[in-house]
Structure 1
Amino acid sequence: MSKSLELTPVQTVACCSPLLAEAIPQEQAEQIAPLLKALADPVRLRLLSLVGAGAGGEACVCDLNDAFDLSQPTISHHLKVLHEVGLLDREKRGVWVYYRVNAAALSDLAGLLGRTAQ
């Protein structure tokens, strides 16, 4: 007489929670990554904030220089980086350059951040 062994069913448990939404598409990640990289510098993040807080949503480069203990060429470099990635628009008026936050770029960024927070 052989005894048969009765096995208890085991419920499998996944090692991770299942994904509830799709990851952002590769193309969108490639568009947003440079924005995040530009904002990863504290000086550029402050510059973007100062421009957005300016009267009429813009600021003159002459006013931005005074807000930092940095040389004018350094501030200009940071503003150029923000402009090149599309976070700031600029307009030359006489001898001064005025910067304005690009609302569409910030909206894209906010959309991504809002999506990941859900």
Structure 2
Amino acid sequence: MVEATAIEQSTQERIALLQAVADPVRWTVLNLLAEQPRCVCNLQEHVDIAGNLLSYHLKVLREAGLVTSSRRGRWVDYTLADGAPERMAGALPAVPVVPALLAAGAS
């Protein structure tokens, strides 16, 4: 039997992960990093917000375990963390497939 606190912990972690990706700026950053690792200077070219705000959003993504960073001189490079896409997909609730709903959607 699984303890209720273990279920609550898992649910809370999934919710926190979904909250991290729900922001449009963070979603854009994740899409850019899915294409290739990028220097923070390159991210600033694609995300039209102040540098300090971009740093905040990158911090949220790092704390959620979705991106990693490495310092290269005065620049910081960012990349998607290993398993990030799978973790994001796994955070979504399972929705049972109901044949009647599929048939209604096809009409």
Unaligned runs of 5+ in 2: 1-6, 97-107
Whose helix proportion is higher, 1 or 2?
Answer: 2
Q: How many residues align?
A: 91
TM-score normalized with structure 2 length: 0.74
The CA distance in 1 between the partners of 2:91 and 2:26, in whole Å, is 20
Q: CA deviation at 1:91?
A: 0.7
4+ aligned runs moved over 6 Å, structure 1: none
The CA distance in 1 between the partners of 2:91 and 2:57, in whole Å, is 24
Q: CA deviation at 1:98?
A: 0.7
TM-score normalized with structure 1 length: 0.68
Name the counterpart of 1:47.
Answer: 29
> RCO greater where, 1 or 2, for CA within 8 Å and sep 6 or more?
2
Report sequence identity in percent.
37
Aligned with 2:46: secondary structure?
A: coil
Structure with bigger gyration radius = 1
| Cα RMSD after superposing both structures | 1.8
Counterpart selection for 2:47 from 46, 63, 68: 68
